[in-house]
A and B are shown apart, each in its own frame.
Chain A
Amino acid sequence: AQSVAQPEDQVNVAEGNPLTVKCTYSVSGNPYLFWYVQYPNRGLQFLLKYITGDNLVKGSYGFEAEFNKSQTSFHLKKPSALVSDSALYFCAVREKAGYSTLTFGKGTMLLVSP
């Protein structure tokens, strides 16, 4: 069975500082990995995905994520945080082979202070 772990319920960072939101995954084969963001009172929005190739994936709003196969991690990063980045972030995984459903982590609340 596939699974995702987001070890931090909340991440606090000051505006202008770099941010990292952690994600580790477990699948039996090769993964597709995704990050979604949820702003208050909104549905989830796609940020970025890893399919294959470069381990550093660039996405929307200046976010990027680094795929590390040996550590089975897919951490979300941004060089300089904005107050408007404050939201709930979800990591998700799907196995490449066949068609499995998408499994989400529990979410990490990112709070960026002015």
Chain B
Amino acid sequence: EAQVTQNPRYLITVTGKKLTVTCSQNMNHEYMSWYRQDPGLGLRQIYYSMNVEVTDKGDVPEGYKVSRKEKRNFPLILESPSPNQTSLYFCASSFKGRTNEKLFFGSGTQLSVL
């Protein structure tokens, strides 16, 4: 089954403790992206990747890191989480060939930073 898999589904952590949220897709998509969803703000893009070893900042990249060493994986890293990073996070992927391609989303990761 074609899917985008995120782990963990829920995560509670404390300020300053490094964490990684994993994202993997099995559709051979070139493009992958991370979003955060906050009430009243909708989805805001954190980082995206056009292909392996190619990443770029989205609208709200501060406090986050990403890497794209393999085509299928795009982990989101919070080196020193803070309470304002409490949010619902989504990973998404698509083919890159045409800009009208639809995005496939993971089920989300609910992160709470205490």
Residues of A contacting B: mostly = loop
Interface residue tally of chain B, by bracket? 20 to 34
In the complex, whether A106 has a CB less than 8 A from a CB of chain B is: yes
Instruction: Enumerate chain A residues within 8 angstroms of B103, measured Cβ to Cβ.
Output: 36, 44, 46, 102
* Inter-chain contact B42/A101, CB cutoff 8 Å: no
5 residue pairs A–B, Cβ–Cβ below 8 Å: A36-B103, A43-B4, A46-B104, A49-B102, A107-B43
* Inter-chain contact A43/B99, CB cutoff 8 Å: no
Cα A110 to Cα B26 with chains together (Å): 32
Question: B92 → chain A, closest Cβ, in Å?
Answer: 8
* Inter-chain contact B107/A42, CB cutoff 8 Å: yes
Given A94-B99, A101-B48, residue A107 in contact with residue B42 (CB < 8 A): yes
Residues of B contacting A: mostly = strand
Question: B108 → chain A, closest Cβ, in Å?
Answer: 6
* Inter-chain contact A101/B41, CB cutoff 8 Å: no
**Minimum CB distance partner of A95 in chain B:** B99
Question: A38 → chain B, closest Cβ, in Å?
Answer: 8
**Minimum CB distance partner of A44 in chain B:** B105
Q: How many residues of A contact B (CB 8 A)?
A: 27
Pick from A43, A98, A101, A104: contact of B107, CB below 8 A. Answer: A43
In the complex, whether B61 has a CB less than 8 A from a CB of chain A is: no
In the complex, whether A96 has a CB less than 8 A from a CB of chain B is: yes
Question: A105 → chain B, closest Cβ, in Å?
Answer: 6
Instruction: Enumerate chain B residues within 8 angstroms of A102, measured Cβ to Cβ.
Output: 33, 45, 103
Cα A42 to Cα B99 with chains together (Å): 25
Question: B41 → chain A, closest Cβ, in Å?
Answer: 6
Cα A94 to Cα B102 with chains together (Å): 11
**Minimum CB distance partner of A1 in chain B:** B59
In the complex, whether B100 has a CB less than 8 A from a CB of chain A is: yes
